[in-house]
Structure 1
Amino acid sequence: MDFAQADAVNQAIRLLSLRHRARVATLLTPLGLHPGQEALLLELARTGPMIQAQLSGALGVEPPSVTLMTRKLEAQGHLRRTPAPNDRRATIVELTESGEKLAGQVKEVWCVLAEETVAGIADRAVAELPALLTTLARNVDAKQS
Structure 2
Amino acid sequence: MDKEAKKNAYLYCKFRDEQFALYDEYAKRHGMMMKTLLVVNVLFYAQEGMTQTEICRRTFQSKQTVNLIVKNLLAQGYVTVDEAPDDRRIKIVRMTDAGRAYCGHVVRHITCAEDEAMAMLTPEEQEQLVGLSRTFTKNLAMLVNRETED
TM-score normalised to the size of structure 1? 0.77
> Considering only aligned residues, what root-mean-square deviation do their CA atoms show, in Å?
2.8
Give the aligned partner of residue 80 of structure 1.
Answer: 80
Cα distance change on mapping 1:131 and 1:104 into 2, 3 Å: farther
Q: In structure 1, how many angstroms separate the alpha carbons of the residues matched to 2:32 and 2:17? A: 18
Q: For structure 1, which runs of at least 5 residues remain unmatched after alignment?
A: none
Structure 2 stretches of 5 or more lacking a match?
Answer: none
Alignment: residue pair count: 142
Distance 1:37 1:133 in 2: 24
SS at match of 1:88: strand
Distance 2:104 2:133 in 1: 24
Shift of 1:46: 3.2
TM-score, structure 2 length as denominator? Answer: 0.75
Alignment of 1:1-145 (within 5 A): 1-2=1-2, 4-47=3-46, 48-101=48-101, 102-112=103-113, 122-124=121-123, 126-128=125-127, 129-143=129-143, 144=145
Point out which structure has higher relative CO (alpha carbons under 8 A, 6+ apart): 1
Deviations 1:44-97 (A, max 9, x none): 233331111222122222111110111122223221112334433332111111
Runs of 4+ in structure 1 over 4 Å off: 113-116
Identity of aligned residues (%): 22
